[in-house]
Chains A and B, each alone.
Chain A
Amino acid sequence: MEQFTIPDKVKRWSMMFMAIGGLALIFGIASLFMGGDEHAHHHAVARFWSNLLINGFFFFGIAACATFFMAVNYAAESGWWVVIKRILEAIGSFMPYAGVLLFIVFLAGAFHMHHLWHWMDASVYSEFMIESAEGVKYLSEQVEGAIRNPHFDEIIAGKRPYLNEIFMGIRIIVIFGGWYWFWKVFRSRSLEEDLGFDRDRHFKNVRHAAIFLVAFGYPISTFVPWDFIMSIDTHWFSTLFGWYVFSGLWLSAMIVAILMVVWLKSLGHLREVNDSHIHDLGKWMFAISFLWSYLFFSQFMLIWYANIPEEVVYFQARIEHYPVLYWGMFFVNFIFPMISLMDRDKKRNRMMLTIMGIILFCGHWVDTYMLVAPGTMKEGGHIGLLEVGMAVGFVGLFAFVITKTLASAPLVAKNHPFFEESVHHEIH
């Protein structure tokens, strides 16, 4: 069976990327303790934790969506994808790393190390307060000596039953833990299958995948984007926000799969993957780009048209302070794939897919940046050395983890019942 060993070059590069990321991390932490006025300190804190949130969320989403795509193919009992199955599994293996990081960002917020989610601040959701020599104490009920809290925000207080630290912590643990468990079962069954085929295992996978699609579909379009991203702009809400976020992450996951396949083929691996598989992956990249653009525009147009103040603030924060980044990333993520990938032959062209893949990957990273930064840093955010360094570090860690998982098992799942079908996959 074909075995993949990590080339030294990749090890060196991923180490170097991680070193850059480490430097950026140290720089970020150092900036928290650097002098300056209160405003500068707040900005440094927001910037540092925003970066961790953006990258953690982006790469966690990629890993989760790769698992989702795997489950789609298991549940549909499709044949073509068998030869790229191990790559999707490998991408999914990044889930625990990014998941733990996101949980740390959450804990840091819950313990008031940063205020990315300002609904966690007691001074916002408490109706009453007692000022004394020891400091300010916030209360939800009127007691002796308490006065009304002038910063009380009724809307945030009303969201308190859902947006509270304990419930959010439980949601994260259950959802992330659950998804990781589903991935783990897929992976271990897949490795077992290398030892011998078992018909029951195949049908167990189908059921497992069907349950996962439900367990994934609901939280990825609701709780996960709501908790981590939408609650940054606590007053604002949009019903299709979850799908919008999900489509961008799913596209990024497909791009990573394409880049991995093209790269492994250029190394001489994956001989079973032919142009039809690459064409299919290219179609996914093309199609999900449109899904994303469609959802972006749907969300934008309805809010633009209705022009209701509490809804338009979200777009005002982005369009007024980040017009180039915001429209630029929409333009790149929509027009570029439309023009370059519409033609059939371009979807089979590995060079084109690689170039477009890298552009769109960066484009969707900027999209994730745009989801977070205008809310946490207002007009003060910009993509500087810290942002680039952290992103590069994450790419390094991501590459390191997924190549390690790839190398730990044969590259192709030869005993999958549809392996032959996949090898002979041919589309036009």
Chain B
Amino acid sequence: MSVGKKIYGLYNDDAILVEGAKTVVAKGIKVSDTYSPFPIHGIEKIIGIKWTRIAICAFMYGITGTSLAILGMYYFMIVDWPMDIGGKPNQYFLQNLPSFVPIMFEFTVLCAAHGMALTYFLRNWTLPGVSAKNPHPRTTDDHFAMEIDPSENTSMSVEEIQGILKETGTVEVFEK
């Protein structure tokens, strides 16, 4: 991560930002991120953000949950303390499987959901006590910002980038 200042273009409409991003990218500038109070459809394709891998995480958390549930119930209900519930065969896991399925299912969902949420918070570093990273407070309200890192665009000077940004209908261009 670069430590230098970044250039921000502030917009008051998401459609203008999308058009602006298209223009900026077409001129060979790499846009590192955008800030918006709500998801802007299609922006990740325009600025070339990589596809999220959270689905893969979710799958792995889910499989972990299923395995833990199976292991746990096998130990509790078969090995450690077999209980006769409604005359079901309590010595065998497989013959009792239907009664374990709801727990397997719920634990899978629990692990997948919590794992996904925690991964998301950690990856974005939005944890309790962490200071906000958005460049302008109004990007959580009614404004939209585009972030350009000069260290990723060494072929152009900061002034050139700012000039291009200003032509795309920004309400403000600033460095931070």
Identify the closest chain A residue to B98 (Cβ): A301
Contact sample, A vs B, 19 pairs, CB 8 Å cutoff: A297-B98, A297-B101, A300-B98, A301-B98, A301-B99, A301-B101, A301-B102, A304-B98, A305-B86, A305-B88, A305-B98, A305-B99, A306-B86, A307-B86, A307-B87, A342-B59, A344-B55, A426-B41, A426-B42
- Majority DSSP secondary structure for residues of B touching A: helix
Nearest CB on A from B163, distance (A): 32
Question: Which B residues are CB-close (under 8 A) to A307?
Answer: 86-87
* Apart from A304-B98, A344-B55: 14 A-B pairs, beta carbons within 8 A: A297-B98, A297-B101, A301-B98, A301-B99, A301-B101, A301-B102, A305-B86, A305-B88, A305-B98, A305-B99, A307-B86, A307-B87, A342-B59, A426-B41
The contact string, 1 if C-beta is below 8 Å from chain A, for chain B 34-50, is: 00000001100000000
Chain B residues engaging chain A, CB cutoff 8 angstroms: 41-42, 55, 59, 86-88, 98-99, 101-102
How many A-B pairs have beta carbons closer than 8 Å: the answer is: 19
Chain A residues engaging chain B, CB cutoff 8 angstroms: 297, 300-301, 304-307, 342, 344, 426
Nearest CB on A from B124, distance (A): 18
Complex CA distance for A305 and B102, rounded to whole angstroms: 12
Identify the closest chain A residue to B85 (Cβ): A305
Question: Which B residues are CB-close (under 8 A) to A301?
Answer: 98-99, 101-102
Nearest CB on B from A276, distance (A): 11
Question: Which B residues are CB-close (under 8 A) to A426?
Answer: 41-42
Question: Which A residues are CB-close (under 8 A) to B88?
Answer: 305
Question: Which B residues are CB-close (under 8 A) to A306?
Answer: 86
Question: Which A residues are CB-close (under 8 A) to B41?
Answer: 426
Identify the closest chain A residue to B41 (Cβ): A426
Question: Which A residues are CB-close (under 8 A) to B98?
Answer: 297, 300-301, 304-305
Question: Which B residues are CB-close (under 8 A) to A305?
Answer: 86, 88, 98-99
Identify the closest chain B residue to A298 (Cβ): B102
Identify the closest chain B residue to A302 (Cβ): B98
Complex CA distance for A342 and B87, rounded to whole angstroms: 37
Complex CA distance for A306 and B98, rounded to whole angstroms: 12
Question: Which A residues are CB-close (under 8 A) to B99?
Answer: 301, 305
Identify the closest chain A residue to B87 (Cβ): A307
Question: Which B residues are CB-close (under 8 A) to A300?
Answer: 98
Question: Which A residues are CB-close (under 8 A) to B87?
Answer: 307
Complex CA distance for A12 and B113, rounded to whole angstroms: 51
Question: Which A residues are CB-close (under 8 A) to B42?
Answer: 426
Identify the closest chain A residue to B51 (Cβ): A428
Question: Which B residues are CB-close (under 8 A) to A344?
Answer: 55
Nearest 3 A/B pairs, CB to CB = A301-B98, A304-B98, A305-B99
Complex CA distance for A305 and B99, rounded to whole angstroms: 7
Question: Which A residues are CB-close (under 8 A) to B55?
Answer: 344
Identify the closest chain B residue to A344 (Cβ): B55
Complex CA distance for A307 and B98, rounded to whole angstroms: 13
Complex CA distance for A300 and B99, rounded to whole angstroms: 10
Complex CA distance for A297 and B102, rounded to whole angstroms: 10
Complex CA distance for A426 and B59, rounded to whole angstroms: 25
Complex CA distance for A307 and B102, rounded to whole angstroms: 18
Complex CA distance for A342 and B88, rounded to whole angstroms: 34
Nearest CB on A from B42, distance (A): 6
Question: Which B residues are CB-close (under 8 A) to A304?
Answer: 98
Nearest CB on A from B112, distance (A): 12
Identify the closest chain B residue to A297 (Cβ): B101
Complex CA distance for A329 and B86, rounded to whole angstroms: 29
Complex CA distance for A265 and B51, rounded to whole angstroms: 28
Complex CA distance for A304 and B99, rounded to whole angstroms: 9
Complex CA distance for A178 and B101, rounded to whole angstroms: 40
Question: Which B residues are CB-close (under 8 A) to A342?
Answer: 59
Nearest CB on B from A292, distance (A): 15
